[in-house]
């Protein structure tokens, strides 16, 4: 059988940033969250371009990880061509639904969670310096969530010509709830509260809205995206999946302050790797090794 889903999704600029560099896609059987970075303009371009490439390439139905690598090449090539976009990149956490299984492909620190029988489990691993320290036993998971350097990525799309993609297959069953989100949610709302909020809202759109509201209430220091997928019983599914066809939709709250666009740094290509490791970008995000 093919899994039937009911979908809710919301993205929000948050309370601090001027633009929303997050993007999401809910186009059955593909669902994804991307969190762009590399200055205001570059970040928005990178996340949207990654999702557009994902959507286009998926029509040919190749392997999902290969599609993600194609998205990487598209972001990398565009960044190399346009000096105004040099240094941009994006996370990408994508799910392809096939039969009763979710194929996951993942790069960066957006996350996939699975809520089953009241337990919330994180499926993805963050590609961050901080998570590596946790793996090595040098930092507790709790300290990692609030670590000032938690946003330094070790992997992202668009940084190099090729990228290593994490893959997983997740079997799902009716009653399961999947959350895809950017770090603007998980950086502001801890997992206990995410679990509590998911439990309070049976409707996936209401759950997405409530998660975003909670992140804003906690300060909204980053762009926030939440996509909630409910795995339905076969028979009641058909009528409820129809209205979700939005592609790479980015809903932004108008910013009360409009500042002139910031100049984007344009490092020469040869210099690129060093600068990723050391250069803070406008989104507060850095590359690390």
CB distance 269 to 71 below 8 Å: no
Q: What is the closest distance, in whole angstroms, from the C-beta atom of residue 283 to Ca ion in the complex?
A: 7
Nearest residue (CB) to Ca ion, 8 versus 89: 89
CA distance 113 to 121: 5
Distances (CA, A) of 241 to 102, 233, 234: 17, 12, 11
User: Among 53, 7, 24, 34, which Cα is nearest to 93's?
Assistant: 34
Q: What is the closest distance, in whole angstroms, from the C-beta atom of residue 56 to Ca ion in the complex?
A: 24
Q: What is the closest distance, in whole angstroms, from the C-beta atom of residue 187 to Ca ion in the complex?
A: 7
3-state secondary structure of 172: coil
Within 10 Å of residue 171's Cβ, how many Cβ atoms? 10
State which of positions 268-287 bind Ca ion (CB under 5 A): none
Nearest residue (CB) to Ca ion, 39 versus 184: 184
State which of positions 182-211 bind Ca ion (CB under 5 A): 182-184
- Give, for 276, the enclosing helix (H) or strand (E): helix 272-278
Residue with tokens 């895809």: 180
**Torsion over CA: 114, 116, 118, 121 (sign):** negative
Residue 230 binding Ca ion, by CB under 5 A? no
Torsion region of 282: left, alpha or beta (phi above 0 gives left; psi -120 to 50 gives alpha): alpha
Q: Which stretch binds Ca ion (CB under 5 A): 48-56, 71-79, 136-144, 178-186?
A: 178-186
Nearest residue (CB) to Ca ion, 182 versus 248: 182
CA distance 19 to 277: 24
Nearest residue (CB) to Ca ion, 26 versus 182: 182
Q: Which of 8, 33, 35, 40 binds Ca ion (CB under 5 A)?
A: 35
Q: Which stretch binds Ca ion (CB under 5 A): 43-51, 60-68, 174-182, 225-233?
A: 174-182
Q: Which of 176, 209, 222, 230 binds Ca ion (CB under 5 A)?
A: 222
Rg of the chain over Cα atoms, rounded to whole angstroms, equals 18
Q: Which stretch binds Ca ion (CB under 5 A): 94-102, 220-228, 232-240, 265-273?
A: 220-228
Number of residues that bind Ca ion (CB under 5 A): 5
Nearest residue (CB) to Ca ion, 60 versus 148: 148
**Strand locations in 108-223, DSSP E?**
111-116, 119-122, 152-153, 166-171, 177-181
3-state secondary structure of 215: helix
Nearest residue (CB) to Ca ion, 240 versus 252: 252
Sequence-separated (6 or more) residues with CB below 8 Å from residue 9: 24, 26, 205, 208, 225, 226, 227, 228, 244, 246, 249
Nearest residue (CB) to Ca ion, 11 versus 26: 11
Q: What is the closest distance, in whole angstroms, from the C-beta atom of residue 50 to Ca ion in the complex?
A: 14
Q: What is the closest distance, in whole angstroms, from the C-beta atom of residue 158 to Ca ion in the complex?
A: 15
CA distance 55 to 188: 30
Residue 109 binding Ca ion, by CB under 5 A? no
Q: What is the closest distance, in whole angstroms, from the C-beta atom of residue 270 to Ca ion in the complex?
A: 28
Nearest residue (CB) to Ca ion, 12 versus 183: 183
Chain residues that interact with Ca ion, rule: CB under 5 A = 35, 182-184, 222
């Amino acid at each position: 059988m093919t899994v039937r889903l009911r979908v809710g999704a919301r993205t929000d600029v948050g309370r601090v940033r001027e633009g929303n560099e997050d993007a999401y896609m809910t186009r059955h059987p593909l669902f994804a969250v991307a969190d762009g970075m590399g200055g205001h303009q570059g970040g928005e371009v990178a996340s949207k371009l990654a999702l557009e490439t994902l959507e286009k390439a998926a029509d040919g139905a190749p392997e999902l990880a290969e599609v993600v690598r194609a998205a990487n090449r598209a972001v990398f090539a565009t960044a190399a061509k346009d000096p105004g976009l040099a240094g941009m990149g994006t996370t990408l956490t994508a799910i392809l639904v096939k039969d009763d299984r979710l194929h996951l492909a993942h790069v960066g620190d957006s996350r996939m969670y699975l809520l089953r029988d009241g337990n919330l489990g994180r499926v993805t691993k963050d590609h961050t310096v901080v998570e590596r320290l946790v793996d090595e036993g040098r930092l507790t998971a709790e300290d990692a969530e609030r670590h000032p350097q938690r946003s330094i990525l070790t992997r992202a799309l668009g940084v190099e010509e090729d990228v290593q993609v994490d893959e997983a297959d997740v079997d799902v069953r009716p009653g399961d709830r999947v959350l895809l989100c950017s770090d603007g949610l998980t950086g502001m709302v801890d997992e206990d509260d995410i679990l509590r909020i998911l439990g309070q809202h049976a409707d996936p759109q209401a759950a997405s809205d409530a998660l975003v509201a909670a992140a804003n209430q906690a300060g909204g220091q980053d762009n926030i995206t939440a996509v909630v997928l409910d795995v339905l019983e076969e028979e009641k599914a058909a009528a409820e999946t129809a209205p979700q066809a939005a592609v790479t939709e980015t809903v932004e709250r108008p910013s009360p302050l409009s500042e002139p666009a910031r100049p984007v740094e344009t490092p020469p290509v040869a210099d690129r790797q060093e600068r990723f490791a050391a250069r803070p970008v406008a989104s507060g995000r850095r590359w690390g090794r």
